[in-house]
Amino acid sequence: MIGMWFFQDVILQPTEDISASFLWSKVYRQIHLALVNSKDEQGIIRCGVAFPKYSDEHPTLGHQLRLLAPEESDLQHLNLIEALKRFTPDYVKIKTIRPVPVRACKGFVTYGRYQPEATVMRKARRYAKRHGISIEEAQKLFPAPINKTRYPYIQLDSMTNHHRFSLFIKKKEAVEQPFKGFSAYGFSTETSVPDF
């Protein structure tokens, strides 16, 4: 039995001049900020994300972002219309908040961040610092693990050090789990969201 969930869809509308990947980068930065600012009294982020057109076969997120929450008020508090006002109506369409259609639900999934190079990069940085060599030289000593699976990603700029990075997104089938909240990117490996 699926507990009641609510959702709100954001549709990206790329143009000849503005690519989908550029839009994802700009829109997701605003979503990230809105999620951080939406923490409840316990410091929990109550809205998660889903990508209805997600595919890792031909890595893509499609043009649709879905925000989900256990209460309608959680999505109202997120205030997407304010967060994305720079992009509407030309590049982004924001749909109204609605209850999840239980009959259309295929099950539950989790979305998480996939970081294949993170540990390798950390090792290389530490080695470079200790041995007084460049990070590029150190990276050659620590080859990244070869992973056949490719995940879709969003290019983002770090808000702390302003470096560009790829936010790889991994989708997994899951069972319905008790609500534990989401990360600042709307992900969780513990809280599953309805898949429809």
What is the pLDDT at residue 124? 75
Q: What burial class does residue 61 get, using C-beta atoms within 10 Å of its C-beta: 0-12 exposed, 13-18 middle, 19+ buried?
A: buried
* Mean pLDDT in residue range 139-165: 78
Determine the pLDDT at residue 1: 43
* Residue ranges covered by each domain of the chain: 6-117+168-195
Give the C-alpha separation, 29 to 35, whole Å.
10
When pLDDT is averaged across residues 136-163 and rounded to a whole number, the result is: 78
pLDDT of residue 161: 81
Instruction: State the pLDDT at residue 47.
Output: 97
pLDDT digits (tens, 9 = 90+) for 110-141: 999 988 666 677 777 788 888 888 877 877 77
Which residue in 106, 114, 143, 113 sits closest to 127, CA to CA?
Answer: 143
* Tokens matching residue 16: 């000849």
- Give the CATH H-level superfamily of domain 6-117+168-195: CRISPR-associated endoribonuclease Cas6/Csy4 (3.30.70.2540)
What sections of 16-113 are H helices per DSSP?
A: 20-37, 72-78, 80-83
**First-residue to last-residue Cα distance in the chain:** 15
Is residue 13 scored above 50 in pLDDT?
yes
d(CA 184, CA 162): 17
